[in-house]
Amino acid sequence: MNPVEKVVNALQDVGNLAVDTLEKASSPASRAGATVERVGKLQEDNVDDEVIALQMTKNSATKHVYSKEFVAELGHVYQDCKTNVLITKTQTTGLARDQRAHGKQLDEGSELGLQGA
Give me the tens of pLDDT residue by residue for the chain, a chain 117 residues long. 888 777 767 767 766 666 666 556 678 888 899 999 999 999 999 999 999 999 999 999 999 999 999 999 999 999 999 999 999 999 999 999 999 888 865 455 555 555 554
> Is the residue at 16 inside a domain?
no
> Is the residue at 21 inside a domain?
no
> Is the residue at 36 inside a domain?
yes
- The torsion region of residue 29 among left (phi > 0), alpha (psi -120 to 50) and beta comes to alpha
Residue 115 near residue 90, CB atoms below 8 Å: yes
Report how far residue 53's alpha carbon sits from residue 68's, in angstroms, rounded to the nearest whole number: 6
> Is the residue at 112 inside a domain?
no
> Is the residue at 1 inside a domain?
no
> Is the residue at 50 inside a domain?
yes
What is the reported pTM?
Answer: 0.67
Residue 80 near residue 38, CB atoms below 8 Å: no
Look at the chain and report how many structural domains it folds into: 1
Q: Which domain holds residue 77?
A: 31-103
